[in-house]
Amino acid sequence: MGKAKYWKGLTAAGIVLAVVLVVIVGISVFPEKNIKEYEETEEVFGNPLMGYAPCAWNETVSEDVSLLYMDITWAELEPKEGEYNWESIEKENQLSRWKKEGKHIILRFVCDVPGKEKHMDIPEWLYEKTGHTGTWYDVEFGKGFAPDYNNEQMIYYHAQAVKTLGEHLGGDGLISYIELGSLGHWGEWHVNYSAGIQRLPKEDVREQYVAPWVEAFPDAMLLMRRSFSHASKYGTGLYNDMTGDPGETESWLKEIQNGGDLSQTDEKNAVVSMSDFWKTAPVGGEFTSSLSMEEMLDTDISRTVELIRESHTTFLGPNIADKKYQQGYESVLKNMGYRLRISQAALSHGFTGTKLSLGWVNDGSAPFYKDWSVWVYVTDKEGNTVEKKQIDIQLSSVLPGETIATETWLDTKKLEELAGKKYNLSIGIEDPMTGKTNLHMAMKCSYKNGRNFLW
């Protein structure tokens, strides 16, 4: 064959091949698309694992509440050695009710709660085993007994109590957050040592009050009152029980940024810098009692909101905002936690099906810290599920101010020409505790039965 004929034949073959390629992949090269943009909604609502957390014993809670706060004193947990008061605790805190309703629990275990009368919050049997070591106090903020946290019997039996708590409460996802208490007044890791109360233990002993929780509740998110070295070591979150107080909160934030010494134990550098911890672990706490709700939610609401956002707060309780100040209540709720949404969705035909491309953003002040399963549902006009596909995304990676892109291939043929009259597309995020979808995305779209409708 001559060169001219050879090249002519090769060119013709190339043209044929190109045509075939266009026929085969042209759909993806020049796809037919349906693109929709979704704006952020200004609507205020509660969502799973964030928001206000009133006490679990409340008979009624508002619709925006998905978290409840439960504290347990050691005295009520184990009145007799080895005998645990589960029935009373579960009944008082309505645990079966909250689980059935799909709500989650914040737990704090405490050994010293100041009160109006002389009392102990550790069991009598433990008081005997520890040789009565500790300090009875009667001070301005209340009366009570501060145990000797250095006592070896106290440390040993505390670990046993935490293990038992984990075995009984840690297996079903109901306990989602644990504010590490155990030490100090109200479990806040401080004592009034100026009144003669024994100081908190040193770092190596404090470690023995933290480690048991990590093992007992592997699926719960742990939080500590301050950025102690243990918080950094175990990657815990932090909680601020002085939320709303500008001086106390700014000091707390400065400590998180820079670290510092611990006056409670007279230790150098016992508080460490954890400036970016909120990207992987939550911030909790409650409103301070040192200021009025009127001041925090009305007079100085802009300052309160600024502190909430600067702290990257996800939840507050049990001292929550008073609904008497509705505007302030809603402003704080809107600025707590995550506000996930889809910024853009695109459907395009490909050779293997229909591709759903999504842009994920977070308009909130904190991430959603759990990687719950995310699904796209294709439903027919009667609402029947035609197809359900999991979206490949880690929700915890959607940080405020960033965009995450996902692509999901759907099998449903052409989706009636890109989600037309026959089919609807929605996004649902499933709570593994209930197996149900109930996360309301912060976007202007239809939201029904826990699903966010794109088409």
The tens digit of pLDDT for each residue in 128-139 reads: 999 999 999 999
pLDDT in tens, 40-71: 999 999 999 999 999 999 999 999 999 999 99
Confidence of residue 8 (pLDDT cuts 50, 70, 90): very low
The span from the CA of 224 to the CA of 14, in Å, is 68
Residue 174 near residue 99, CB atoms below 8 Å:
yes
DSSP characters over 200-248: PP-HHHHHHHHHHHHHH-TTSEEEESS-BHHHHHHT-EEEEEEET-HHH
Cα-based distances in Å from 420 to 343, 355, 362, 379, 416: 20, 15, 28, 12, 5
pLDDT at res. 9: 46
Handedness of CA 159, 164, 167, 168 (dihedral sign): negative
Residue 17 has pLDDT above 50, yes or no: no
Query: Please, what are the domains in the chain?
Result: 31-42+339-453 (2.60.40), 51-334 (3.20.20.80)
Confidence of residue 422 (pLDDT cuts 50, 70, 90): confident
Residue 1 has pLDDT above 80, yes or no: no
pLDDT at res. 400: 97
Instruction: Return the higher-pLDDT residue of 265 and 19.
Output: 265
Residue 263: how many CB atoms within 10 A of its CB? Answer: 12
Helix locations, 144-218, DSSP H: 152-169, 203-216
Q: What is the mean pLDDT of the chain?
A: 92
The span from the CA of 435 to the CA of 331, in Å, is 31
Closest of 338, 345, 451, 340 to residue 406, by C-alpha: 345
pLDDT at res. 411: 85
Residue 430 has pLDDT above 90, yes or no: yes
Handedness of CA 148, 149, 153, 157 (dihedral sign): positive
Residue 364 has pLDDT above 70, yes or no: yes
The span from the CA of 27 to the CA of 16, in Å, is 18
% of the chain beyond a pLDDT of 70: 91
What is the phi/psi pair of residue 193, to 5°? -70, -20
Residue 271, token pair as written in the block? 């508080």
Residue 121 near residue 144, CB atoms below 8 Å:
yes
pLDDT at res. 416: 61
From 13-17, 81-85, 356-360, the region with the lowest mean pLDDT: 13-17
pLDDT in tens, 197-246: 999 999 999 999 999 999 999 999 999 999 999 999 999 999 999 999 99
